[in-house]
Each structure stands twice: as structure tokens, then as C-alpha cells.
Amino acid sequence: MSQPTARALSGRMPLQMIGGWEVGLLGLMALLYIGGALLNPSFFGTSDALQALLRDSARFGVMAVGMTFVIANKDLDLSVGSTLGVIGVTFSFVFDPAHYDMGVMPAIAICLVFGTAIGLLNGVLVTFLKVPAFIATLTMLLIGRGVVLGMTGGRSILYPIKAREHEWFFQLGEFNAWGFNNQIIIVLIVVGIGAWVLAKTRWGYETLATGGNEQAAQYAGIPTNWVRIRAYVISSLCATLAGLMTVAQNKGITSQAGVLTELIVIAAVIIGGASILGGRGRVIGSYFGALLAALLHKVLREGVPIVREVEVNGEILQVNATSTLPAGAIPAFIGALLVFAVLIEPYVIRRKLLQRIFARLTGRAPPRVMETGGVAIEGAQTKGTTVGDRAVTARGFGKFLARRDALAIILMVVLWFIGFLLRPDYWAGLPNTFAILLNYTELAILTLGLTYVIACGDIDLSVGAVLALAGSTAAYALKVMGLDPASAMLLGVMAGTAAGMINAMFTVGLGLPAFIATLGMFYMARGVAAWIVAGQQLTGWAEPFNLIGRKVGDILAYFNVPPVGGQVGDILGVVSVQTIWMAVIAIIAGVVLAYTVFGQQVYATGGNRRAADYAGINTNRVRFITMVLSGFCAAMAGVINVAYFRSFNPVAGQFRELDAIASVIIGGGSIFGGFGTIIGALAGAAVITLVRALLQLNIITGTGESFSLPQHWVNTFIGGILIIAVLIDIWVRQAGVLGSLRERIFGRRKAARKVDND
């Protein structure tokens, strides 16, 4: 190689840190910025717009650095948004004069400890305890969100006066002498360090090797479990820094801090060129992806300047205004952006689409495409368990205990008696029974469809949002469109079922991982639901629609049927139409899953998809149907929700996906597929419903005082229950740890007796 050539190469930026993809992202951002300037020149045409973009994207960029390490490891961290919120609230509680009133340094130290602990917990759950990454971090997201709401009480914590005494820290959120925000400097430093570590150090080599082929990395002597834990700690510490940047800028924290952040960060990393399959990623590309996501968000949020005509005292006046997207549009866009970002990797990067287009335009030979498979992540699937083995050999009551759904049934009975012991004067009464049945019915309907999905080896994180979508559609049809109840019900069910079909097309047709496709739908459906009703609560329509959410006794009264006395009348006063409907659907779903060919195909697909394909089962068809069924069940729950409350609230179904997944797992379903019964899922739903009822119970002490758990903390407990249920599934049902321990103990005793006898 000649000396000039060597000198030229040595002066170039290493390709491991930046490449053509990042250059393309810069060009795309330039075009978008120009488009924003044309649409809204009063904002994007000024230098303040660029400053605001760099400042607002700084926290996303910092978190994208940590997320790059996680995704390059073939993992996922959905907890970064709630970690940001937890750190912000922790700092505020320690620093705020109204709480612990400590200094900045103790607050930062405590935040660093908490951030490290969250990362370690995520890493240990995913590596040593074998919990799927999306389940572990999704649960941490919801637990963290519950902690934030519980500690803040849904309010903001602000301390602008005390912040003046610590300018050295809070100046990090302000402009400096050079005229730009200090957070821009922070993100550039973090990106620079992260890019160098990932591209030029052993840590980066181990990360990319682990994500590319974990088994080969283990053969090469790389401690892959430690590498994955390290990535989660880095991700959590980056979220910790983002939380500190938030409080430095805002001089406080809000209860909504970090909401939607995880989706923006994941989309930024994928847009930046990382592969959801692991083994590839560049920190600079991830930062550019964060800039692009923030730019798109800002273009949508700022709107377009318009001129409105307003009549005042008979005169027409022209008033400058801004046309913005309705409530819910931005969450829907963020969800769609996530799905689009993940599709870039298999259909653009892996197929070398841009290089092929360039080759065709220039008349060159197209580049060789080595591999064009889908993006589906093949998870560990069950091939039989010790629980199933014991169920075959057990006798009598032991046969019941060997069932996978026995735990849920026993817990259901125990929890009911606990409630009766705590409040015997209230628990078994008709009003409480009716309330529990109503809450149970909605959750039970959701679990019916989700049981099929999980048994098939997939997951649906969107059921709560689809419930809201169906409810908003039905409410809009009744209130705004003035349709009759039957037509409104049909539209609501069709909307939810369509969402299920979209999930199926993304998952089965385009090969997206089910958790990515349904997570995107979670935000899209939730956003569209709020968009339809303009973020407002709708109420006030004809009573016949509401009858499907009423008690049987209320329906008889509506049609002027004389009331029925005695025990029958008491039962009619408790049982509602929706409970009867749930029972009918549950019987049909249970028979189909347990006694039909399709049900066995569901189990076979979830147990071992490749073997099911070899057996002639159309696994894609089976998976497609289960996804659509899940959307259909969520739609029914949404329509019934509107009828029961006689109104629609955009927050309907919030956190219901967590309840539904926990119900199926507690009821004997396996997060890896191949197992699940309708009876078990219904029992699991009863467990979750009773736990919520107990946590909300107003308990009277011996002194006559009463207390109840603040409702903001309920979801934290439910998240913990989900993690425990998944761990029981993995280590007790699948691995048979308790059985192995029992056999080891009793085996030693038998051996000792044999020695004594000899």
C-alpha cells in the first residue's frame, strides 16, 4: 500500500463507529427540517428550533447509548422510561425541602445506587433466572410507573427556590456562555464515550459477539451472562443520568416523567442501524436515530400556522392560530414508528435495498444479499416438563396437585377466605360480590383470547389498548354518529378485531417478534382511541345499549317484568349479562382448545413450531387465528366496559394487559408456549381480581380505625405477582426444582436407611 493511501485511510473515521447509514440519516433529517421550516417557518425557521431539537433529544440520546448495548446483545430494555421517572422522583424526595431536605450529592449518590440496582435486577432476571427480556423489563416498567405514581400521588414535586442554592448542578439544564444548553454537551460526551467503548474496546467486542452468536461466544471464553448483565447496568445508568438531566432542567419532576420514552429510545436505536436480532449496532447511529425521532415528534407537535376567522360583534376578524394534531395522535405515531423501525432491519439493511437501488441507478452490478430471513426471534420452547410427567403417574388428590392450573385454583379459594376473614361483614355481601364479578368478567374475557396466543408461543401486549379502541369506537358511534346500539356494538367489535388482524399480519406475515408488533399496537390503539374522542370522556346515549353491562334484575325492571323474590332474586341481583356472556364464550373456548383438532394444533405450534410444521400443521394459520381471536375478545371487553360505565374514558383498560398475562401464567400457561387451559386462565383471572379487591379493601382495625392501600401502588403489586408467576412457571413447572430437591432429600434418606440396614 502506498504511503498517501495509508495516510488517507488513517485519517478516516473508523467504519466501526460511523458509516454510510449515519450519513443517510443526516440527509433525511435535513430534508425533514426543511419540510418543517416550510410548514411552520415561524418556529423551524429560527435558530431556536435547532437549539430546542438538540436540547429535547439529549435525554433520548443518552438513553439510546445504553439501549444500543442491550439490543446489540439481542436483549431489550422496556424499563428505561420508568427508570428515568423513578430516579427523578427519588432525587426529588431526597432533595425537596418538603421531604428529606438533603443536598445534591447525597441525592445523586442514592440515585446512582438505585439505577445500578435496577440494571442488576433486570440482568439477573434475564440471565440467571431465564425470564424473557420483554417480560422482565415490561414488568419493571409497570412496577416503576406504579412507584412514581405512588410516591408523587399523581402530582408534581417542584423546588425552584432551593435549586438556586445549588446552581452548579441545576445549571446543567440551562444555557451556557456559548449560547447553547449544557445538556447538549452531556449527550455528546456520553455518545463519544459509548461509541468508543462499543467499537474499540473488549467490552464492545464481547457485546457484539454475544449478540451475534451467544453459544459461539461462550465457546470463545466470553462470560456471556456477565456481558448481558453489564449491558443492562449501562442502560439503567444512562436512564439514571437522563433522570438527573430532567430534574436539573425542570427544577423538579412530574408524575408523567418518562412516559413513552422507552418506545422512542428503542425506535431510535433500530433506526440507527442496530439489529433486533443482536450482533450489530453503532452508538453514533443510535444518537442520530434519537435526533430523527425527536425531530419527527417536534414536527408533529408544533403543528401548522393557520388563520381563523372569528365573528365579534358582527365583525369578522382574522386570528393567527396553530393547527395541531388531536390528542392521541403522537402516541399512535410513536407506536407506528417502532414497528417501522424494526422492519427497516430485515427489509432495508439486510436486503441491502439502498445499495441495490444505487447500483441500478448507476448501472453497476447489485450487491450480493447473503440472507433475507425474517426478524422473528425464536424463543426457548417447552419440550415436556417434570410437572407433566408427575401428572401421568400421580393418583388421587396428588393428580390434582400435579395439574399446572392447581396453584391458581387453590390460591383463588385461599384469597376469598382471606377477604372473608378480614371483612366478614362486607366481603360475602351481594354488593361486593357483584363488584368483584364485574371486574372479573372484563379480565376473564381478555384472558380467553390471550390463553390461545400464549399457548401458541406468542404474546399480545395490546389487549388493554385494543379494549380502549373498541370502546371509543362504540361510544363515538353512539354519541356522535347517532347509530343504534347494535350497529355501535358491531363497529366496536370490528375495530378491535381489525387491530388483532394487524397484529397477526405484522407477526405472521412480516415476521416481526410478537412482543414488538403488539407493543407497537399498544401505543397505536391507545393513541387512536384518544384521537377518536379527542381525549375527552363521552357519555349520554340510549339506555338499551347499556343493558349489556347491567344486572339481570335491572334488565327485567327495564322491560317492566315483576321482580323475582327469594334466592333466585338474590342471584339475579348479582349476575350481570356480561358475566353470562363471558361464561358462554369461556365454555366454547374451553371446548375448542381442549377437544378439537385446532386446539391441539395450538398446543403443538407453541410446544415446538418446527416439529409442528414437519407434522403438516399450518402454523402460520394457527398463529394468525389466535392473534385475531385475542383482538376479538379484547373488543368484546371494550364494548361491555362502555355499557357498564355508561361512558367511555380514554384510560379504559389501562394496565389490563399486565393483569391478563399474569392471569394466564398463574393459571398454568407457559410464557414459552405449549401449555394453557381455559379453566386455569379463568382461575388466574380470579386470583388477580381478588388480589386487587383485597388491596382496595377498607380494613377496620381492633381500635375501630380503618385503612386501605393507596391505589397508585396496586399495579406495583400486580407487577411483582407477574414476575413471581413467570419464575414459578420456569423453575417449578418447567425445571421441576422442588421435585428435584425433594427427590434429592428423600433419596439421601433412603440411601442412609439402606446403609443402616446393611
Query: What CATH number did the domain enclosing 263 receive?
Result: 1.10.3470
Give the domain-ending residue among 297, 324, 351.
324
Reading the block at residue 720, the C-alpha cell is 411483582
Say yes or no: 320 and 435 in one domain: no
**256/155 Cα distance (integer angstroms):** 9
CA torsion angle for 13, 17, 19, 22 (degrees, to 10)? -120
Give the domain-ending residue among 324, 352, 376.
324
Cα of 524 vs its chain's centroid, Å: 12
pLDDT band for 177, please (50, 70, 90 cuts). confident
In a domain, 332, yes or no: no
In a domain, 106, yes or no: yes
Beta-ladder partners of 648 = 538
**pLDDT higher than 90, residue 428:** no
- 129 sits in which H/E element: none
The average pLDDT across 716-737 equals: 78
**333/523 Cα distance (integer angstroms):** 8
**pLDDT higher than 60, residue 13:** no
The region of weakest confidence among 196-210, 385-399, 541-555 is 385-399
* pLDDT, position 742: 60
Per-residue pLDDT tens for 211-237? 999 999 999 999 999 999 999 999 999
Say yes or no: 454 and 305 in one domain: no
The average pLDDT across 46-54 equals: 81
Domains identified in the chain, total number: 2
In a domain, 28, yes or no: yes
* pLDDT, position 701: 66
* pLDDT, position 9: 41
In a domain, 120, yes or no: yes
Say yes or no: 452 and 319 in one domain: no
In a domain, 179, yes or no: yes
* pLDDT, position 386: 43
Say yes or no: 58 and 193 in one domain: yes
Per-residue pLDDT tens for 355-364? 788 788 888 8
In a domain, 330, yes or no: no
In a domain, 747, yes or no: no
The region of weakest confidence among 148-162, 648-662, 725-739 is 725-739
**pLDDT higher than 60, residue 7:** no
Give the domain-ending residue among 273, 294, 324.
324
The domain in which residue 460 lies consists of: 431-742
In a domain, 372, yes or no: no
The percentage of the chain sitting over the pLDDT mark of 70, rounded to a whole number, equals 86
Chain mean pLDDT for the chain: 84
| Nearest Cα residue to 476 out of 631, 326, 642, 358 | 642
369 DSSP assignment = P
Q: Are 338 and 516 in contact (CB under 8 A)?
A: yes
Contacts of 365 (CB under 8 A, 6+ apart): 359
Say yes or no: 73 and 200 in one domain: yes
Say yes or no: 143 and 288 in one domain: yes
* pLDDT, position 24: 82
**pLDDT higher than 80, residue 45:** no
* pLDDT, position 273: 85
Say yes or no: 54 and 177 in one domain: yes
321: helix, strand or coil:
strand
**335/367 Cα distance (integer angstroms):** 32
**pLDDT higher than 90, residue 347:** no
Say yes or no: 108 and 242 in one domain: yes
Say yes or no: 314 and 452 in one domain: no
Say yes or no: 89 and 207 in one domain: yes
